[in-house]
A and B are shown apart, each in its own frame.
Chain A
Amino acid sequence: MALELKSSDNKIFEVEELVAVQSETIKSLVEDGCADNVIPLPNVDSKTLELVLDWCKNHVDMKLDEEKLKEYEDKFIEVDQAVLYDLLLAANYLNIKDLLNRACQKVADMLKGKTPEQIRETLNIVNDFSPEEEEEIRKENLWAFEE
């Protein structure tokens, strides 16, 4: 059975149901009988959706070959930061657990060596600590900054 998915930039993707239901979001729609028409995905652009569907398809095809799947996953996640974030947001929206976890792990790996200042810049976070408050935490953790 095939499903039709429409990306935010209005591109239609025809996908096997077995592949598409790797997304819990789409799976719920199918189970509720709402998947007869084209399913709009306003939060995912075509470039990202194509990658996501490739992930889903390979997880169906390589289900029994753990080693091959791991090789695929390792290669798949080697993308630049912008694409990684898009994949992460798409996996979150579409509720594809394994892709979400993999993307989150990759982001974590990228963040681990950074300073708090760099973190704020990368993730667009506002520092709501006063300089005194921040200094207090910094002092508490002098040992964690020694890198």
Chain B
Amino acid sequence: MREQPRPQPQILRQRNIYLPDDLVINNILTRLPVKSVMRFRRVCKSWYSSIKTSDFIDTHLSNYKDSHDNNGYVIHMPSVRNTSSYRSPSSSSSSSSSNTSIPVCTVAYDRTFDKISDVRIPFDVNFNQIVGSCNGLLCVANSGNVIYLWNPSIRKFKKLPDTLLGQLDNVTLGFAYHPENNDYKVVRISSTPFGAPVSYHEIEVYTLSSDSWRRVGITLTTTVILYDKNFPLPIPLVNGALHWISCIAEGEENHKSRTIMAFDVNSEKFRKLALPHGSIDENTFQTFLASFKGKLAFITWERSEQPGTQYSIWVMKEYGVVASWNKLRVVPFERVSHCSAFTENGSLLVCYINDQVEEPDFKFVLVDTETLHEKKDPDIQQHSYVATFMESLVLLDGANTVAD
């Protein structure tokens, strides 16, 4: 078979064109996909050093966001390394099944979960969880409370220093971008095990700029009993705050109720936000918080009036205004299921057990919240953590990073 001839590089023979250096670097290179930028680092020394600067990285990110308005991506990472006893049938034929020795994350389109590419996970894979995703930077934590910041697009990662907190029995984590300082923060809340006589919580915050943890004191009149981990969804960052569903005790009679505790990333203070009125009752099995098109979403999985279950999706149309909670959609779902993911554009990924076959296995369904269109068997074979994804150069200028 004859090979296609490679197209000749376009060379200007008539005259020499010299484009101003700073124009090329700041207005042309910043518009290139990450792979091209990384490849072009070796063109010359001034390009190499310019590409690493935070100005370049910021401009590149902003250009990327401008040109990717409608296309969203997700990245998903298997939550366990080895297959559990329930295995999806398609995984046995797939080359990237969890039985191979190379642990990978998968990048896919957020509306269809159609796979785009696999990225090798460069650090130890041990019951990893995606804590959050901001500007192409992922925060990943493992069962040993080791945390990594990882940019899969440039194959660089950074291991966070050890915790300052005394004990880490019951931990929940949040990851946020801090725009006021153009910085990234990881929030760790460590709680006494559930059921302990007195509950207390310790909070520490890591900032990328300082590369260190710092304890944060909380002054609240309310007693927080529990911060819900929101498993398996990441703690959502909306309006500059990380949001946890919490169980609180208030008033003289220690009246217990559920509410949202919102941690403002800039002030590092908590505030309470009420959940939609009447959204939780004895028929509610599970609750989750998520970010939906930049707004705070509350998802419940509950018993429905018709036999079976349903997912209710509420959106807080105006941030902070409790009266603006709006029940956007009810997604009926016959079988016992678990919410695996809720993407930024409103795709609900549900996992259920298919017990209609001899060897029960689990299956996924992707439901578009707005159209209720269901996609059976999307390209995901195992329980995974799912987060938004975008390409960026964030962390390229980072100290103490490791290249994969």
Identify the A interface with B (CB < 8 A): 81-82, 85, 88-89, 92, 100-101, 104-105, 107-108, 110-116, 118-129, 134, 137-138, 140-141, 143-145, 147
User: Known contacts being A116-B39, A137-B42, is A124 close to B17, with CB within 8 Å?
Assistant: yes
| Listed stretches B43-51, B71-79, B93-101, B295-303; interface member | B43-51
Contact flags B80-106 to A (C-beta < 8 A → 1, else 0): 000000000000000000000000000
- Beta-carbon contact of A105 and B35 below 8 Å: no
From the candidates B12, B16, B35, B404, name the one contacting A81 in the complex (CB within 8 A): B12
- Beta-carbon contact of B24 and A123 below 8 Å: yes
Nearest chain B CB to A99's CB is how many angstroms away?
A: 12
- Beta-carbon contact of A116 and B43 below 8 Å: yes
- What is the bound-complex CA distance between A129 and B48, given in angstroms? 10
- What is the bound-complex CA distance between A123 and B12, given in angstroms? 9
- Beta-carbon contact of A124 and B16 below 8 Å: yes
From the candidates B10, B28, B44, B48, name the one contacting A104 in the complex (CB within 8 A): B28
From the candidates B11, B19, B39, B48, name the one contacting A121 in the complex (CB within 8 A): B11
User: Known contacts being A128-B45, A129-B42, is A111 close to B17, with CB within 8 Å?
Assistant: no
From the candidates A85, A122, A127, name the one contacting B11 in the complex (CB within 8 A): A122
From the candidates A100, A123, A137, name the one contacting B41 in the complex (CB within 8 A): A137
30 chain-A/chain-B pairs, Cβ below 8 angstroms: A81-B10, A82-B14, A82-B17, A85-B17, A88-B19, A104-B31, A105-B31, A107-B28, A108-B29, A108-B32, A111-B36, A112-B32, A116-B39, A118-B9, A119-B40, A119-B43, A122-B9, A122-B11, A122-B12, A124-B16, A125-B44, A125-B47, A126-B44, A127-B43, A127-B44, A129-B42, A129-B45, A141-B38, A141-B39, A143-B155
Nearest chain A CB to B32's CB is how many angstroms away?
A: 5
- Beta-carbon contact of B48 and A144 below 8 Å: no
- What is the bound-complex CA distance between A98 and B27, given in angstroms? 12
Chief secondary structure at chain A's binding surface: helix
- Beta-carbon contact of B44 and A144 below 8 Å: no
- What is the bound-complex CA distance between A112 and B14, given in angstroms? 23
- Beta-carbon contact of B27 and A120 below 8 Å: no
- What is the bound-complex CA distance between A29 and B377, given in angstroms? 63
Is B20 located at the chain interface by the 8 A CB criterion? yes
- A82-B14, A104-B28 are known; give 14 further A-B pairs, CB within 8 A: A85-B19, A88-B19, A88-B23, A92-B20, A101-B27, A108-B29, A111-B28, A113-B36, A116-B39, A116-B40, A121-B9, A127-B43, A129-B42, A137-B48
Nearest chain A CB to B13's CB is how many angstroms away?
A: 10
- What is the bound-complex CA distance between A111 and B12, given in angstroms? 14
Nearest chain A CB to B97's CB is how many angstroms away?
A: 22
Is B33 located at the chain interface by the 8 A CB criterion? yes
- What is the bound-complex CA distance between A128 and B47, given in angstroms? 11
From the candidates B18, B29, B31, name the one contacting A124 in the complex (CB within 8 A): B18
- Beta-carbon contact of B43 and A125 below 8 Å: yes
Per CB-CB distance, the 10 closest pairs between chain A and chain B, nearest first, are: A108-B31, A144-B38, A137-B42, A118-B9, A104-B27, A112-B36, A144-B39, A85-B17, A116-B43, A144-B35
- What is the bound-complex CA distance between A82 and B16, given in angstroms? 10
Is B403 located at the chain interface by the 8 A CB criterion? yes
- Beta-carbon contact of B44 and A145 below 8 Å: no
- What is the bound-complex CA distance between A101 and B67, given in angstroms? 12
- What is the bound-complex CA distance between A11 and B24, given in angstroms? 30
- Beta-carbon contact of A82 and B42 below 8 Å: no
Residues in B neighbouring A118, C-beta threshold 8 A: 9
